Amino acid sequence: MAREARLGEAGATLPSVLVVHGPNLNLLGEREPEVYGRTTLKDIDAALRGLGHELGVAVETFQSNSEGAIVDRIQAARGKIQALIINPAAYTHTSVAIRDVILAIGAPCIEVHLSNVYKREPMRHHSTIADIVVGRILGFGAESYLLALRAAAQIANGASRS
């Protein structure tokens, strides 16, 4: 069975959503809690899997501090996922490679940020992926991911039925 594929209760394969977290997000809960909150990445991933179960989508999560590892993981999902959720963290503002791999795999993508980057330094106002994603959710802390999963599940369920 493919890593992203899970069987639903009726035995049908559930649509798959991959959630990718970029650099330093492994430190959530300890890292600048006044900006990013006190929820850990482990808790966010568990909440995503739980919500995925409710919404009928299989959720796989991945975190790396390395741009190449993020590109490799997204490439590996090519043809296997119905939606991608990504918080590229600092790579949001610099990475052409992440933009290119999102375009290469062609899956609908939702961009997530915990903080409202527009209330922060100007360097955080630019995103290399803003114009190629379906939508962006930012500023709601850990809840940003759950809102994104609700949107992704709608897309993924639609995609798996068509």
**Residues that bind ligand DQA in the complex, under the rule CB under 6 A:** 24, 87, 89-90, 92, 113-115, 117, 124
- Which CB sits closer to ligand DQA, 13 or 26? 26
- Which CB sits closer to ligand DQA, 17 or 28? 28
By C-alpha distance, which of 33, 15, 134 is closest to 85?
A: 134
CB of 137 to ligand DQA, least distance (A): 10
First to last CA, the chain: 22
- The runs of H, that is alpha helices, within 108-142 are none
Residues paired with 19 in a beta bridge: 61, 85
CB of 80 to ligand DQA, least distance (A): 25
Catalytic residue, from 36, 118, 125, 126: name it. Answer: 36
CB of 114 to ligand DQA, least distance (A): 4
Q: Report how far residue 30's alpha carbon sits from residue 64's, in angstroms, rounded to the nearest whole number.
A: 17
36 is catalytic: yes
Q: Report how far residue 153's alpha carbon sits from residue 83's, in angstroms, rounded to the nearest whole number.
A: 8
Catalytic center residues: 36, 113
